[in-house]
Amino acid sequence: SLNFRMYSVDFSRRDISFPHSAGGAHCFPDLRVGVFKEIVPMGIDPKIVSYKETGIHLSPQEFHREVEQYLSQASQGQSDTILLDCRNFYESKIGHFQGCLAPDIRKFSYFPSYVDENLELFKDKRVLMYCTGGIRCERGSAYLRSKAVCREVYQLKGGIHKYLEEFPDGFYRGKLFVFDDRYCRRLGTCRYCGVLWDQYKLCSSQHCRQLVLTCPSCCNKGLTACCPVCQEKELKVTSRASGQTLKEECECTRKRTRVPIEPLQQHYRIPLLGTVL
């Protein structure tokens, strides 16, 4: 087997950090390279909210000490800190830091709306932010700081990926959501039977294609959809007049903010498979 390293690089920065992880060739079957304006679109022009106004970067060691102090104070009901996970709900569902606040957002472009709707929650608070590899925190922390409500905003440099290199048995619980099986401690549960399970599959409904946790036993019973609506009705794929397919029309996604139909040109962004975000 071969060893691969995966990079997500912002060449406009001078302090580039290269997260790396050894793995067999089966973990990374393809390689694509793309150059684009944002690695993970937040939906706000980088000229308006710049990464140059980001939160204070904390090394894994510094972040570990902060989380340790936060958990100690929180247990006594005295904490003025928020430990904020700025990833998507399906990522935090199978792995997160103890005592974190994990927004129920489908994609990172919903993060600004979440912040706007919860400004009172962040007022006068110290915020410790983290994501998979530190990329989303670059924009997310800058947006949070632009609202001028927090006392301080910090972010984990290198994200969960770097933290786990230093503290594999630290305060992170569960599995890190990436495109391979490097971290496999169980946390999630099967959508149908509740058994411990953390390996996502796509909903079997072509109309939905949402991520779902369903164990092998339930899969063998034909339980492969994300919710009863998709499972029972076998919805057919429909399209708008423009020819763009409607992706999310089921019980699960109706409970969340609708995903906007993005301009066609945004779909030309080609991510690097295995990228740490």
Residues carrying an active site annotation? 131
DSSP state letters, 81-130 = EEEEE-S-HHHHTTEEETT-B----SSGGGHHHHHHHTHHHHTT-EEEEE
* Number of Cβ within a 10 Å radius of residue 42: 21
Q: With contact defined as beta carbons under 8 Å apart, do 246 and 262 qualify?
A: no
Cβ-defined contacts of 259-268 (< 8 Å, 24+): 259/106, 259/107, 260/109, 266/41
Q: With contact defined as beta carbons under 8 Å apart, do 99 and 70 qualify?
A: yes
* Number of Cβ within a 10 Å radius of residue 14: 5
Coil, strand or helix at 1: coil
Which candidate, 38, 15, 1, places its Cα nearest to that of 275? 38
The C-alpha atoms of residue 277 and residue 275 are separated, in whole angstroms, by 6
Q: Which of the 8 DSSP states describes residue 196?
A: B
- Please provide the distance, in angstroms rounded to a whole number, between the alpha carbons at the two ends of the chain: 25
The C-alpha atoms of residue 171 and residue 178 are separated, in whole angstroms, by 19
Q: What angle do helix axes 159-166 and 60-75 make, rounded to 10 degrees?
A: 90
